[in-house]
Amino acid sequence: MSKLALAIHGGAGTILRSQMTPDKEAIYRKALEDALEAGYKVLHEGGAALDAVVAAVVSLEDCEWFNAGKGSVFTHQGHHEMDASLMDGQTGRAGAVAGVRLIKNPILLAQSIMDHSEHILLSGEGAMAFAQEHGLAFEDDAYFYTTHRYKQWQKALLEDRTLLDHDDRETDNDLDEKKFGTVGAVACDVHGHLAAATSTGGMTNKKYNRIGDSPLIGCGTYANNRTCAVSCTGHGEKFIQAVAAYDVHCLMEYKGLSLQEALRIVVNEKLLRIRGEGGIIGVDACGNTAMIFNSEGMYRARKEAGGVKEIAIYK
């Protein structure tokens, strides 16, 4: 019997204790704990790893303080374009969605694509039509509007640049609350089955329907019962170049490395060589979790059977 385990992340980047007020930190920690408990409750009640990661990510998507779902950043056109993906380590099935608007919980759409279509990745208007056909919840633009995201977008428009969700180049106090990231979860259930899920609003002021690593199986998300389940956060283009999520699996399967060592090599060696900033969370089939990042911080949490529980932000 495998050890129950769940790990989550809410983005990685320049997250400094010196820039965090006690009230703000308490908000983040509470949001991480809520998502952690939502996912772990599924595992504790004998549920599947797949359902656990979905529950955790839905909780994070419903929180405005992370760049996914409700808290998604603005595009250049002033919209919110969201991506998400999900993979079942037991069967290899996966579902993903890219560039959708007005979907309350993109991870639920990814799950619906996995369960009710012959496809893995749908995008844009077609994905939204699929969501309507399958009864997914929509919200209007007002639901996704948050003042801090709007100010972040206005500054990016003025400077005519895009911002990663973990970009540290802003200096205005009003914009200090910019460090919200891609969210994700990985889980191991009582049967040793693994699953991973990732969801994001992408980059502030992004143009041309830009899509990062989050909806790409093998880049931002991967799960295989033989090795691991992983979810990535950071500079999406670099994670795509590195095929980061699948590379963790390969190091474990072909070289026999532990989860911790495989993550260390990908995050602290391979990604750094191409100036890829970010982090990856993972779990193996024995219920061992790991959370590694090469940035100043990563919103993260994990819970394992036997009493291990951690909620952390800084290095």
For range 20-48, the mean pLDDT: 96
Report the pLDDT value the prediction gives residue 164, as an integer from 0 to 100: 63
Burial (CB < 10 A; 0-12, 13-18, 19+), residue 157, is: middle
Per-residue b or e along 183-192, where b marks 16 or more CB atoms closer than 10 Å to that residue's CB: bbbbbbbbeb
Burial (CB < 10 A; 0-12, 13-18, 19+), residue 77, is: exposed
The reply to whether 182 belongs to the active site is yes
For 43-56, write each residue's pLDDT tens digit: 999 999 999 999 99
By the 8 A CB rule, do 91 and 114 touch? Answer: no
Report the pLDDT value the prediction gives residue 165, as an integer from 0 to 100: 55
Who contacts 52 (Cβ-Cβ below 8 Å, separation ≥6)? 6, 39, 40, 42, 43, 185, 187, 189, 195
Burial (CB < 10 A; 0-12, 13-18, 19+), residue 46, is: exposed
pTM recorded for the entire structure: 0.93
Alpha helices in 122-277 (DSSP H): 124-133, 141-144, 147-159, 236-242, 244-255, 259-265, 271-273
Report the pLDDT value the prediction gives residue 173, as an integer from 0 to 100: 39
By the 8 A CB rule, do 101 and 205 touch? Answer: no
Distances (CA, A) of 303 to 5, 168, 248, 281: 6, 29, 21, 12
**Confidence category of residue 96, pLDDT binned at 50, 70, 90:** very high
Q: How far apart are the first and last CA of the chain?
A: 33
Q: Tokens 């290899």 correspond to what residue?
A: 92
Q: What is the mean pLDDT of the chain?
A: 92
**Bigger pLDDT: 170 vs 118:** 118
Q: Which of these ranges, 38-52, 53-67, 93-107, 157-171, has the smallest mean pLDDT?
A: 157-171
Report the pLDDT value the prediction gives residue 139, as an integer from 0 to 100: 97
**pLDDT above 70: percentage of residues in the chain:** 94
Is pLDDT of 18 > 90? Answer: no
Is pLDDT of 125 > 50? Answer: yes
Among residues 75, 146, 182, 204, which one is catalytic? 182
Sign of the alpha-carbon torsion through 235, 241, 245, 248: negative
Report the pLDDT value the prediction gives residue 89, as an integer from 0 to 100: 98
Structure tokens at 265: 């090599």
Report the pLDDT value the prediction gives residue 9, as an integer from 0 to 100: 98
For 230-264, write each residue's pLDDT tens digit: 999 999 999 999 999 999 999 999 999 999 999 99
Is pLDDT of 172 > 80? Answer: no
**Confidence category of residue 163, pLDDT binned at 50, 70, 90:** low
**Bigger pLDDT: 156 vs 308:** 308
For range 276-299, the mean pLDDT: 96
DSSP E strands in 177-270: the ranges are 183-188, 194-200, 221-223, 228-234
